[in-house]
Structure 1
Amino acid sequence: MENENTIRTLKDYFRPSQEGYRNTIEIPDGNNVVPLRFDTIWLLQNGCSFYGLRSEDPNQHLKDFLKLVDAFNLDVENREKMRMRLFLLSLCDQASNWLKSLPAGSISTWEDLTTRFLP
């Protein structure tokens, strides 16, 4: 139990709290066959980024994204988890802000994600 008279420093107030934080995308529990490696994330962010600009086609981004991620050749259950884990890393700027604006835990399947992403 925390004492009400505990002295807190300014540094304590600037430390971010993750209490009550939940991602928009809720990845199902279970084992993930392929761990996320730095080079995988780098390849995704440099070869398959979507910014949400008018000149970008969300359908084409989804096709490019699936071509890259499905190259891992995972079973169905792990393929969906990997897609959901990596998709949020493929979004930048406006597109990332869009995802963050959705309610926490509102996306729990790949179908949920693609339905919301595509116009």
Structure 2
Amino acid sequence: MGDENPIRTLGDYSKPNHESYRNTIKLPVGNNVAPLRSETIRLVQNGFSFHGLWSEDPNQHLKDFLKLVDLLDLDGVNKERTRMRLFQFSLYYQASKCLERLPVGSITT
């Protein structure tokens, strides 16, 4: 029988563990991936954040978010991929937790 509690070193605890990460957004396949600039991510986070509160309108959030992404100078394929990559940065607190509870790869557009 194997040891149920193997001895771990301090270094073992300092290594990142990505086993529990689940991406609910399935990105479209494409080779032309434009890098996301940190300024763009901050703009989405600061200007168009959605917290999932009852007083917030999710449809208005989507409209504002799409308006912002449409300002970026991208071709059609990259625009959809960029929208999907940026969307998770527009969600906070309850809305972010709701996104994390969805099945892996369930959001495709």
TM-score scaled to structure 1, two decimals?
0.77
Counterparts of 1:71-86 in structure 2 under 5 Å? 71-86=71-86
**2:55 aligned with 1:50, yes or no?**
no
Counterparts of 1:57-96 in structure 2 under 5 Å? 57-96=57-96
In the TM superposition, what is the alpha-carbon distance from 1:19 to its structure 2 partner? Answer: 3.9
Distance 1:98 1:20, change over 3 A: closer
Aligned to 2:39: 39
Divergent runs of 4+, >6 A: none
Unaligned runs of at least 5 residues, structure 1: 111-119
Identity in percent? 64
CA distance in 2, matches of 1:95, 1:74: 27
Q: Is the 8 A contact 1:48 1:65 kept in 2?
A: yes
CA distance in 2, matches of 1:20, 1:94: 19
The count of residues paired between Structure 1 and Structure 2 equals 105
Greater displacement, 21-30 / 35-44 = 21-30
Unaligned runs of at least 5 residues, structure 2: none
